[in-house]
Amino acid sequence: MIDCHAHAFPSLGYQTARVLETLSATAAEHFRGSLQPFLAAHAPALGPLPDLFRGKAPGRQPLDIERLHRLTRSLPGPVLHLLETALSAVGTPITLIGGTLEKLLASMERHHIERSVVIPAPPMSTNAWLLGEARQQAGARIVPVCVLPDLPADAGEPAWIEAFAGLAQGGAQGFKIHPNTDGLAPDHAAYRALFRVAGERHAFVILHTGSFHSVSYKHSRPADPREFEPLFRDFPGVRVCLAHMNREHPEHAWELLRRHSQLCADTSWQPAEVIRQALGELGAERLLLGSDWPLLHPELQGDALDNLRRATDDRAFDRIANRNPHDLLGV
C-alpha cells in the first residue's frame, strides 16, 4: 500500500536545536533593543561591554545548530522524553514532536504501508531536509514531494523554472501547491513554471484543496481547485492529485475529475460516507489513499485505512490503496 499524502519533520534533536536557536536570537534581540538607549548614553564609561550586546565580543560564536542536532540525537530515551515534555510546555505543536520521520516509518510498519508520499512543512521541515537527510534515512520508503522553492514572489517564470528543475534534479518526484501557505494567485508564474517542469520531468502535482484554517496560513480562503482549471487544460499530461477531495465540497472535485482525465483525488480528511459517494460518482479508478499524517494524532494512517475499508469492497480497496498510487507515481 502507498499513502499518497503524508508529512514528516526532522528528529527531535534537530527540532530542539532550532527552538534553541530561535530562543537565543529572540532573547539577544530583546536585550539589545531594551538596552540600546542605556548603552548609547553610557558607552564611554562602559568600555567594551556594549560589544557583548552587539555580537562583537572576541571569541563569540553563533549557535552551532548541526552540533546540537548531533548531540541531542545521541541522548538516551528518557532524556529525549523530557525534551518532548519541555517542548510541549512552551507551545511547540504536538504534530512537530510526534511527527518525526522515525515515527512515520514506525507508523508505516504498523499499518503495512510500503511507501508514503512525504511533503515538507516549512520552516521546521524543508525541501533541503527532505531531499537530503530524510531521503538518506528512509530511502525508497518515502516519495519526496517539494513545496515552492524559496524565491521572491515577483521572480520571473525563468527563475521559477530553474528552481523547480533543480528540485527535480535533486530527487523531487512531485511538487505541492498549497494556495493558503503560498499566498499566490492561481495564475502566478510560479505555478505555470511548476506545471511546465512537472511535464518535462514526468513529475506529478499535489494540489491542496478545501477549507482549512491555520495560524501559519497567509490567507484562510477555501482553496478551490476550480481556480486552477486553466493549468489543467494547458498541461493535460501532468498528473494531479486533488488533496483532501476538496473536503467540505467534494462535488466540485468530482466535477473537475469528470472533465480532466489526468486528475485524481486522495481520501485524506474524508469520512467513509464521502468516499462511498465518490465511488458511486467516479468509480475506484480516480481515488487514492491519503492520510495527511501526522496531523490530528499519530494513528492517522490507521484511521485512513479504516475509513477506506468501511467504504469499499476488497477489489476497490486494492485499487485505491495499491494500483492507483502506482499510476500517480508513474511506476
Domain with residue 166: its CATH number is 3.20.20.140
User: Higher pLDDT residue, 211 or 40?
Assistant: 211
pLDDT at 266 over 80: yes
Same domain, 140 and 164: yes
What is the extent of the structural domain holding 27? 14-88
User: Where among 53, 88, 123 does a domain terminate?
Assistant: 88
Of 24, 21, 7, 19, nearest to 87 (Cα)?
Answer: 19
Write out pLDDT tens, residues 46-95.
Answer: 455 444 444 443 443 443 444 444 555 566 666 655 655 554 444 445 55
Same domain, 137 and 286: yes
Last residue of a domain, one of 40, 58, 88: 88
Which of 281, 239, 277 lies closest to 260, judged by CA?
A: 239
Q: H helices within 47-64, ranges in order?
A: 49-52
Same domain, 143 and 56: no
Grid cell of 319 as nine digits: 485499487
Which of the listed residues 69, 88, 107 is the one where a domain comes to its end?
88
* pLDDT mean over 91-116: 83
Task: Assess whether 69 and 173 both reside in one domain.
Answer: no
Residue 278 is placed in which grid cell? 465518490
pTM of the model: 0.78
Whether 79 and 100 share a structural domain = no
User: Does position 235 have pLDDT exceeding 80, yes or no?
Assistant: yes
The predicted pLDDT at position 191 comes to 98
Cβ(287)–Cβ(324) below 8 Å: yes
The CA–CA distances, whole Å, from 9 to 91, 122, 133, 198 equal: 16, 9, 11, 25
Pair 159, 200 in one domain: yes
Whether 211 and 242 share a structural domain = yes
Secondary structure of residue 220 in the 3-state scheme: coil
Say yes or no: 64 and 168 in one domain: no
Give the count of alpha carbons within 13 A of 129, CB side only. 21
Asked if residue 98 has pLDDT above 80, the reply is no
- In order of 51, 149, 191, 249, 286, the CA distances from 228 in angstroms are 53, 19, 9, 16, 18
In this prediction, residue 60 carries a pLDDT of: 38
178 and 221 belong to one structural domain:
yes
Q: Is 260 exposed, middle or buried (0-12, 13-18, 19+ CB in 10 A)?
A: middle
> What is the count of structural domains for the chain?
2
Give the closest residue to 149 by CA, choosing from 190, 203, 192.
190
Q: What pLDDT shows up at residue 137?
A: 94
Q: Does residue 163 share a domain with residue 59?
A: no
Q: What is the pLDDT of residue 171?
A: 97
Q: How confident is the model at residue 116 (pLDDT cuts 50, 70, 90)?
A: very high
For the purposes of burial, counting CB atoms within 10 Å of the CB of 174, is it exposed (0-12), middle (13-18) or buried (19 or more)? Answer: buried
Same domain, 153 and 269: yes
Q: How far apart are CA 46 and CA 217, in angstroms?
A: 45
For residue 89, the model assigns a pLDDT of: 47
Q: Are residues 260 and 248 in the same domain?
A: yes
